[in-house]
Structure 1
């Protein structure tokens, strides 16, 4: 028998990835404390990118209307995957990916829970602002066709009035699990093409399956404010945002962030390293 010389540390297969995430958390904390304006602008850009690619997705789906439903869904999912690719590669700030990063940072004791709440709330608020800016600019154009507005209204109806709180919660867990798994894998690559592929994979799954993404949903509601306000059921909108927020945190923060933080090091390892 060959003697097993491996240590526990040798089982930390993606330790470099979580260390990268910890570095990201520290930079987020520096921005929010010292240059909050820059952090806010990054958060606005994420919401803007999500919203503008959402419009692109609706355009693609309506242009393919009349063909196979599965093909339309796949075209829409592939179209929307561009949004997260652009957000990640431009280092913009998106709430749902921050769930993973911030939880990893909390596990390794590089950020406090209070600071996590501040970053998350600021990020979410200005992600929403980005969506409002996009649809506010677009309102006075003919970019959103009647067919696209109908598709928007139908999707919002499905996500709010026609969905129970439990369905929203579970779909939100699955959504951010896939998104953050894709981002976690992409961190392990340096070239843009590999990063793009794995980021897009997670998004394509969530969009095609109709899972719940709290920032994407907030962008849809921003669009409804400008294009079909009377069709909004505000209590159902709040229901969707509340349970999608919780589910997205569970899927990205716990099922990915906390799990892989635990699998790649002791909680005190970063503190010990600094000493």
Structure 2
């Protein structure tokens, strides 16, 4: 059977989806190449947003923990945390874990060199961390984080760096970024803003409720732990968590989602991009 007669755009996402990804990749690459400070600021905003939503989640959980059961409190916290992705995407901020998907597609179609992708990943991650430092530096000058919130922060950090093994973190991180990026893939097909927001929120709610590992969120927690000098924060266990969650997030978002959909949508229709 001649596959040229198959309308691939009707079966997979097709030319429009890949064109959208290509546009995103090229915009991000130009930003970090020629507008370094602006790109860094966009990455800082993403870290700032995740951090301030983290504070919000701590507030929600400590407020309702005495009245409601832990399961319901965790679900409310997960829904609350899902606001972060909506804010990040609609403010055009730069989050490392969504870039895993975009730039793996770019690597597959040979639109960007690997060293440039690595440079973007590192710059984005550094910007995310700086944003968290700015947020928690400001918070430290106030009494927004109550003693109960700091205690919950310490308990969360203890679980992530002392209870979980490297392998456990790695697998949890794969699922975390799988849900984030499958959400993005679906949201890219939707024009209605409310529907797009809903899709973004349910993917993040799943990963947050299940306790999966997200490298940027975890790093923001560790930054908070530094500023508030929590008891269970330790350098090497925290680095173990960051390395394992970084690798796992790339597998879940970059390979399982990005590479998978890049291959499904590749039927020779983008050879002109590859030859450039």
- Aligned equivalent of 1:167: 168
- Aligned equivalent of 1:43: 43
- Aligned equivalent of 1:157: 158
**Matched residue SS, 1:91:** coil
Note if contact 2:47-2:130 (Cα within 8 Å) is conserved in structure 1: yes
- Aligned equivalent of 1:64: 64
Change (3 A) 1:267 1:109: farther
Q: Which shows bigger deviation, 18-27 or 112-121?
A: 18-27
- Aligned equivalent of 1:85: 86
Runs of 4+ in 1 over 4 A off after TM superposition: 272-275
- Aligned equivalent of 1:227: 228
- Aligned equivalent of 1:122: 123
- Aligned equivalent of 2:30: 30
Note if contact 1:45-1:130 (Cα within 8 Å) is conserved in structure 2: yes
* In 2: Cα distance, 1:211 partner to 1:230 partner: 23
- Aligned equivalent of 1:253: 254
Shift of 1:17: 1.9
Note if contact 1:74-1:208 (Cα within 8 Å) is conserved in structure 2: yes
Shift of 1:266: 3.7
Shift of 1:148: 0.5
- Aligned equivalent of 2:263: 262
**Matched residue SS, 1:92:** coil
Q: Which shows bigger deviation, 37-46 or 257-266?
A: 257-266
- Aligned equivalent of 2:143: 142
* In 2: Cα distance, 1:188 partner to 1:58 partner: 33
- Aligned equivalent of 2:95: 94
TM-score by length of 2: 0.94
RMSD of aligned Cα (Å): 1.9
**Matched residue SS, 2:163:** coil
- Aligned equivalent of 1:179: 180
Gaps of 5+ in 2: none
Note if contact 1:109-1:268 (Cα within 8 Å) is conserved in structure 2: no
Deviations 1:32-90 (A, max 9, x none): 11111110000000000000000000100111112111110100000000001100111
Note if contact 2:157-2:232 (Cα within 8 Å) is conserved in structure 1: no
Shift of 1:191: 2.1
Change (3 A) 1:162 1:144: same
Gaps of 5+ in 1: none
* In 2: Cα distance, 1:35 partner to 1:222 partner: 27
